A and B are shown apart, each in its own frame.
Chain A
């Protein structure tokens, strides 16, 4: 799953934002203030949650729109939601076809982020990425239907 997730993140950042995004060692001090969750149901069940700072989300917005876009808070939140949406969609497309059959929920955004992005049991797959000096945390919880 990690390989597919890394590929999905790299693909989204390279094709849509024109920048690289690489995995980095977990950093306990990183505290995002914006989180987006997307659930999926079907042959795979679970949810993906990303966490980033508002500054990082503004960087994503600027990369998506170019030049100096309208950086209203709603647009920054919207950009973070679309980033999560594209990563989950791309990750799903990297799975074997039988597992890729799952419907995505609409993104749900929160400004209240707990220290660890997703603490519920069992522990989710966690990953931390760096793009242009910004950090992007991910927590992926997946259950494959039998």
Chain B
């Protein structure tokens, strides 16, 4: 699996990567970005090099560019089309969930989370996108 993790906390990026490995995912490469703008840059580089991600995880509440704006810009620039995006955040309100889904997110995981919860949500998305 080739994954992108977008979170302003370096600790949380490592926690997510560690949890993905604990959930049994074989991670070939993990790209990391600390906000939506950095993530868009990585997606543009991937597009130029014709590389493909399998899954994207993004936080919602970030400085510079938040998760919702990232999703909207990603879609408007036709970047990583078909790659499932999963929101991992403490912001679990219904309006934010609906906003993220409307902007293209395929899943939603609230912190705190467990490896089992990650596995249950992620594996079906990876299979569906394969």
A101 to B9, CA, bound (A): 23
Q: Is A86 touching B11 in the complex (CB atoms < 8 A)? A: no
Q: Which residue of B lies closest to A80 (CB)?
A: B11
Cβ of B79 within 8 Å of any chain A Cβ, yes or no, is no
Overall SS of chain B's interface: loop
* A75 CB contacts on chain B under 8 angstroms: 10-11
The CA-CA distance from A75 to B11 in the complex, in Å, is 7
Asked if B111 contacts A89 (CB within 8 A), the reply is yes
Residue A19 is within 8 A (CB to CB) of chain B in the complex: no
Count contacts between A and B, CB distance < 8 Å: 67
Which candidate, A21-29, A63-71, A126-134, is the interface stretch facing chain B? A63-71
- B12-71: which have CB < 8 Å to A? 12, 14-15, 18, 61-63
Which parts of A57-102 form the interface with B (CB within 8 Å)?
61, 64-66, 69, 74-75, 78-79, 81-82, 85-86, 88-90, 92-93, 97, 100-102
Which residues of B approach A to under 8 Å, CB–CB? Answer: 8-12, 14-15, 18, 61-63, 89-95, 110-114
Residues of A within 8 A of B (CB): 11-12, 15-16, 61, 64-66, 69, 74-75, 78-79, 81-82, 85-86, 88-90, 92-93, 97, 100-104, 106
